[in-house]
Amino acid sequence: MWWAMRFDVVTLFPELIAPWLTQGVTRRAFAGPVEVRTWALRDFSDDPHRRIDDRPFGGGPGMVMLAEPLLRALGAVAADRGGDEAVPVVHFTPTGRRLDQALVREIATGPGAVLICGRYEGLDDRVVRTRVTLELSLGDYVLSGGELPALALLDAVARLQPGVLTAPSHEQDSFSDGLLEGPSWSRPESLLIDGVEHVVPDVLLSGHHGRIARWRRDQSLLLTARRRPDLIAAARGAGQLSADDERFLTTLGLY
């Protein structure tokens, strides 16, 4: 089989990664253009008990992932990839750059990456300084390990691959045009919830494609303006807002 890109996941828990690759719509990517290989970090320990962590120098709570097993694992990955030095080596950490859709799109058109799933208090910094080329964070909170961020990145990249979704599905996603996606409605047209009737907006039932497109754009602008005004500012600075967009924003009285 030919793969367009390859991801190597260095982890203490490869069993957390493998089952996810066969579920949901993104399984189409992993059965086709995206190859994922997992590397069990304990296999690269020279300790009789396969230990890969130790206490931090200088004291303090928790444990630190040892440099030597990580370096051996990364060396094995590099050798298996044929010495390909162009791929990013990613470390998931709260101190990293926040992952966003623009970066996902960039990675989704590249050759893949090596994903290091840290645990405990993190990696020995010598690994970060000498091997890591990109540090990523999902947000301002702390997880128990890098496996969930690795899966999040794999999912985000996989859904952009040809044949996984229909093109309009991801072209209309939140952040695809710099804004949040507006609300969606489906059948039935009228629904009674807790004694209150909730009806689909008339414009969505009109069959007028131009009006529907404008309404959806306005709803996207409204939601973004209320929840993420920073995205409105960024879209404006990038020239992504039309004259009609600006007129609608003016009616909100927020700018």
- The residues annotated as belonging to the active site are 94, 121, 159, 173
Contacts of 247 (CB under 8 A, 6+ apart): none
Listed residue (155, 138, 134) closest to 100, CA to CA: 138
Cα-based distances in Å from 44 to 123, 139, 228: 15, 30, 44
> How far, in Å, CA of 155 to CA of 101, rounded?
12
Cα-based distances in Å from 78 to 25, 58, 131, 158, 178: 30, 32, 11, 23, 36
Contact (CB, 8 A) for 204 and 243: no
> How far, in Å, CA of 66 to CA of 17, rounded?
22
Residue 61 burial (C-beta neighbours within 10 Å; 0-12, 13-18, 19+): exposed
Contact (CB, 8 A) for 31 and 88: no
Listed residue (14, 16, 157, 175) closest to 88, CA to CA: 157
> How far, in Å, CA of 173 to CA of 182, rounded?
9
Contacts of 48 (CB under 8 A, 6+ apart): none
Listed residue (140, 225, 240) closest to 180, CA to CA: 225
